[in-house]
Amino acid sequence: MSDSSKFGDRRGSIAAAVTVVLLLVGGVLVAKSFTGNDAPPQPDAAQSAPEVTQGDPAPSPTTSAATAPSSAPSTSAGSTTKAAPQTSSDFGPIMGPSAPASLVIPSIGVSTKGIVDLGIDKSGKLEAPTDFAKAGWWADGPTPGEFGPAVIGAHVDSKSGPAVFYRLGSLKKGAEVSVVRKDGSTARFVVDRVARYSKADFPTSIVYGDTKGRAELRLITCGGAFDQSTGHYVDNIVAFAHLTS
């Protein structure tokens, strides 16, 4: 399986918006090299997620999606045993299914329409948008606003310059993200953190796993240093956000 990825490498294969064990993204693009101030911004270390243990199990997204929280158990009719008081949990808002149509992130100047469906190719890689001006979403996962982790990826750059998620690394905690859905509703998210992960140790179980009862969003592109010898970025940038309305 190739370790090349699709969302922004230059002078060779494009770097992955999401690099996962058994779920890599691949593709080829000849692009110009950016240096110095032209390099994509990186997230602050203070925003990064907790350290991931080496060898973190990385189930594929289709097997790592969490199940919806169950309701509290009820006591049987006529029972003489007093039931223990139940503590209700607020999992936040949850929306019904509807595919995304457009994405807006005002703080980093993102506004893109026509979000495309991304599937898995025959080699087990997540497809990437063919249009560098568009984002794509993992169509086999939750739609934005549903319970679980909805995943949207986009290129960081191309041969002609910055792409949709060029500034994703500069996104800050508390930033607003809006996803207009095809049913006309808008899923509004707030960013919890932005982290950078080595592609060699991408934490699939964190990105695609249990969201603890919430509707959440993952925004993914490539980042870190650019390896001139391989033509790839060495890391991925992941923004974690939760639904607010």
pLDDT tens string 184-240: 999 999 999 999 998 888 888 898 898 988 999 999 998 888 888 877 788 889 999
Residue 199 lies in a domain: yes
| Closest to 101 in 3D by CA, of 13, 201, 45, 183 | 183
Residue 182 lies in a domain: yes
What would the pLDDT profile of 82-116 be if each residue is shown by its tens digit?
Answer: 444 443 345 789 999 999 999 999 999 999 999 99
Two tokens, residue 156 = 């960081």
Contact 225/209 with Cβ under 8 angstroms?
Answer: no
Q: Could you tell me if 33 and 10 are in contact, meaning their C-beta atoms sit under 8 angstroms apart? A: yes
Judge whether 68 lies within some domain. Answer: no
Domain presence at residue 99: yes
- Residues 241 and 145: beta-carbon distance below 8 Å: no
66 assigned to some structural domain? no
Q: How many domains does the chain contain in total?
A: 1
Q: Please report whether residue 109 resides in a domain.
A: yes
Tell whether 77 is covered by a domain: no
Contacts from 108-115 at CB under 8 Å and sequence distance 24+?
A: 108/167, 108/168, 108/170, 108/171, 108/175, 109/167, 110/164, 110/165, 110/167, 112/154, 112/164, 115/152
| Pick from 10, 12, 47, 23: nearest CA to 199 | 23
* Domain residue limits at 220: 1-31+94-245
- The radius of gyration of the chain from alpha carbons, rounded to an integer in Å, stands at 19
pLDDT-derived band at 62, boundaries 50, 70, 90: very low
pLDDT in tens, 23-40: 333 332 323 334 444 678
| Each residue's pLDDT tens digit, 125-163 | 567 788 988 999 999 999 999 999 999 999 898 878 899
Segment (H or E) for 112: strand 110-113
CATH number at residue 102: 2.40.260.10
Q: If you average pLDDT over every residue of the chain, what do you get?
A: 73
Position 189 in a domain:
yes
Sheet holding 116-118: strands in order across?
110-113, 100-105, 176-181, 186-198, 232-243, 215-227, 148-153, 136-138, 116-118
158 by DSSP, 3-state: which? strand
